[in-house]
Amino acid sequence: MKNEVSSYKKDLYVSKRPSGMPAWLVPLLVFVLIVVIVFWVAPAIVERLQAGRLEDQEPAVTTIPTKYDETTRVVSKPVADVFDRPDLKAKRVTQVLLNEPVYVQNQRCPSGYVAVRLQDGVTGYMMTSDLISDCSSIEPAAYPYKAIVISAQKRVMSHAKRGTLLAEVMMGTELYIDYRGTGVSRVVLPGGEKGWISDDGVVILPSTEKIKPPYQPRQAFCSTALSFLQATVLENGQTVRGISTVGIVHLSASINGLEVPRTLDGLLQTGQLVPLSYDESTGLLDLSNLLPGDLLFLSDPNNPEKAADVAIYADIGQIIYAKPSQTSIRLMNLNENEDILKRILVVRRLFSD
C-alpha cells in the first residue's frame, strides 16, 4: 500500500492555469494602435497645425465695398439719349455714354421708359432698353485701373490681337480694367463681357483717381474743341456722331481735368463772368478782352434777353460754332459774322491763367 501511494505521487504533474487571452492578441492590438496613430491621429494633428499657421499668415477675407445700389442702372449703348419727357418725340436734354451710371427715380412712366437722375444732377427720361441693372462693370473697388477715352472714338476688340469689334466707344467713356498687358488693356463692358483696347487714345489711371489738368489747360481745352470741326450738329449731342457746342465744351473740359455741366443752363453758372466792353464807334463788342477758351453765350433771336446757345472763343476773333442753318461745326470769324457778334449776351471764363 505504501508503495502504491509513493508511485502515485511520483507521476503527478501540476500544469499552469490558462489566462483566457490568446498570446497573439496583444501584438495585434499594438499593431492596430500604431496604424491608427500613423494614419489618423498624426495627420489630423498636422492638419490642425498647418491650418493654424495659414490663419496667421493669410489676411482675413474682406468684402469689396460697393459704390452703387439697386437704384443704379448702367448705360449699355455707346451713346444714349436723355429726354425731357417719356416720349420719342420729346426734346433731347443731353446724352450719356457707355458704362455711365444713372439713378432711377421713383416715378411711374409709360412702358419702355424710366425716370433718371445723372451723376451731375441732370434729370430726364431714358428708354429702358438703353440700360441694364448689372453694376459689376462700374464698381471702382473691383478693379486696379480704368481707361478714359480721349480720342473722338475708340474700338473695343474681342482679342488683344486680330479680334472682332465688340463696341466703338466715344470720347469721355470710362471703362474699368482687370488686366494690363504691354500696350493693351482688358476692359469690362456692361453686363460683364470683356474686351481689349490699345493704349493710344486713352488715359490709364488708378480706378479711383480722376484726370488731372494738363500744364496748359486753356490750350489743351481749345485743341480738343477744335478736333470737332466738321462734326455733324445734333441738338444737345455729346459725341462725334452728333455734337452740340454745349457738348464740345463738356467733353473738352472733362478729358482735360475740368468738370463742367453738360447743359446750357449749367454752363451759364460756370467759371468767372468776364466784363464786356463795346467799341464806341460801332457799338459792337470789343474782342480784345477775350481769351481762348472763353464761352460766348448767344441770345435767342426770338427772345434777346435769353441765352439760347454757346460759342467757344478760339483766338484772334474766331469762334467754334454752328449757325442754326448749318449742319456741321465750323470755325468762324466774328468780324465777318456781325449777326453773331450782336447776339453775345454773356462771356464766362473757365480758366484763370
pLDDT at 250: 98
User: Which tops the pLDDT comparison, 191 or 62?
Assistant: 191
| Residue 8 pLDDT grade (very low, low, confident, very high; cuts 50, 70, 90) | very low
Work out the end-to-end distance of the chain between its first and last CA atoms, rounded to an integer number of angstroms: 147
Question: In which band, very low, low, confident or very high, does the pLDDT at 55 lie, cut at 50, 70 and 90?
Answer: very low
pLDDT at 54 exceeding the cut of 60? no
Residues 6+ apart with CB under 8 A from 349: 271, 272, 273, 274, 291, 293, 294, 295
Rounded Cα distance, 283 and 171, in Å: 40
C-alpha span between 114 and 126 (Å, rounded):
6
pLDDT the model gives residue 62: 59
Distance in angstroms (rounded) separating the CA atoms of residues 47 and 52: 9
- pLDDT given for residue 226 in this prediction: 97
Beta bridge partners of 46: none
Nearest to 173 by CA among 147, 210, 137, 206: 147
Pairwise CA distance, residues 226 & 221, whole Å: 9
3-class DSSP state of 341 = helix
The reply to whether 140-206 shares the fold of 72-132 is yes
Per DSSP (E only), the strands in 171-245 are 174-180, 184-188, 194-198, 202-206, 238-239, 242-243
Would you list the domain boundaries of the chain? Answer: 72-132, 140-206, 217-349
Between the CA of residue 211 and those of 27, 59, 67, 150, 216, what are the distances in Å?
79, 32, 20, 11, 14
173 closest CA partner among 100, 103, 246: 100
Give the chain's mean pLDDT. 88
pLDDT at residue 11 above 90?
no
Least reliable range by pLDDT among 32-41, 117-126, 177-186, 264-273: 32-41
Q: What is the pLDDT, as a whole number, of residue 9?
A: 47
Number of neighbouring beta carbons within 10 Å of residue 166: 18
Topology (CATH level 3) of domain 72-132? SH3 type barrels. (2.30.30)
pTM score: 0.81
- In CATH, which of 3.40.30.10, 1.10.3210.10, 3.30.420.40, 2.30.30.40 is domain 140-206? 2.30.30.40
Q: Cell triple for residue 2? A: 505504501
- The model's pLDDT over 318-332, given as tens digits with 9 standing for 90+, comes to 999 999 889 999 999
- Cβ contacts of 165 within 8 Å, gap of 6 or more: 155, 156, 157, 158
| CATH (one of 3.40.718.10, 3.90.1720.10, 3.30.70.260, 3.40.50.150) for 217-349 | 3.90.1720.10
174: which 3 cell numbers? Answer: 470710362
Q: Return the bridge partners of 204, or none.
A: 147
High-pLDDT (> 90) share of the chain, %: 72
C-alpha cell at 36: 491608427
Q: HSE (CB half, 13 Å, CA atoms) of 3?
A: 0
